[in-house]
Amino acid sequence: MKDSVIIVSGGMDSITMLYEFKDRIALGISFDYGSNHNAREIPFAEMHCKRLGIPHITIPLDFMPKYFKSSLLEGAEAIPEGNYDEENMKSTVVPFRNGIMLSIAAGIAESHQLKYVMMANHSGDHTIYPDCRPEFVEAFSHATKAGTFVGVEILAPYTNISKADIARHGKALGIDYSETWSCYKGGEKHCGKCGTCRERKEALKEAGIEDTTEYED
């Protein structure tokens, strides 16, 4: 039964979730919030939703670059290179981004009489992004359930697994990860040097997946 909307970015994690839970997903939602890589990843979200016969919408959040401070909203040169860890990636945090997106998605879910909003956070995000942590997901789910007539809840089944674990799910599902986007710099190709590119490489390697991503390096 179709009972969920999914926040789908076009990256490895949300595309894996899209395929894994396709039978219950009624709508895919992407958000264009002015990041360096939105223009690169959202077309993948659209493509995969279309491939699966799942309706897809993109919602503009063009106020965010005007009022929010984050290197993710400041151009490719502002994105740090190096490991995917708290010290290196903290500048890429867009304050309360997931809270804003989940609020909108919960409203859309209730408008369609759907019970769940799915998000594809994972354990590697916890130390970097506050709005990816288990306690945030749990608290926000309580809020959406209390604040909607249909009792919308947040489903985040990847919260406590790694990106490599997600890639293993994708491998079993036959997903071609070259049809996803990770690089925060948002160039013509993945830069291969920023934290999200390095995280992508490591996850695919650990999962035993040949990395056919085109990298600049």
192: region left, alpha or beta (phi > 0 left; psi from -120 to 50 alpha): left
**Cβ-contact 128, 90 below 8 angstroms:** yes
**Cβ-contact 144, 154 below 8 angstroms:** yes
Distance CA 127, CA 25 (A): 29
What would the mean pLDDT of 125-136 be, rounded to a whole number? 84
Domain chopping of the chain, boundaries: 4-206
191 carries a ligand binding annotation: yes
What would the mean pLDDT of 187-196 be, rounded to a whole number? 93
What would the mean pLDDT of 165-176 be, rounded to a whole number? 98
132 carries a ligand binding annotation: no
What would the mean pLDDT of 113-131 be, rounded to a whole number? 89
Q: Which residues pair with 56 in a beta bridge?
A: 28
**Cβ-contact 41, 11 below 8 angstroms:** yes
In this predicted model, what pLDDT tens digit does every residue of 21-61 receive, in sequence order? 999 999 999 999 999 999 999 999 999 999 999 999 999 99
**Better pLDDT: 83 or 54:** 54
14 carries a ligand binding annotation: yes
18 carries a ligand binding annotation: yes
CATH fold group of domain 4-206: Rossmann fold (3.40.50)
94 carries a ligand binding annotation: no
173 carries a ligand binding annotation: no
Distance CA 71, CA 82 (A): 15
118 carries a ligand binding annotation: no
117 carries a ligand binding annotation: no
Whether pLDDT at 82 is above 70: no
Q: pTM, whole model, 2 decimals? A: 0.94
82 carries a ligand binding annotation: no
Whether pLDDT at 87 is above 80: no
92 carries a ligand binding annotation: no
**Better pLDDT: 208 or 123:** 208
**Cβ-contact 114, 4 below 8 angstroms:** yes
Whether pLDDT at 186 is above 90: yes
The average confidence (pLDDT) of the chain is: 94
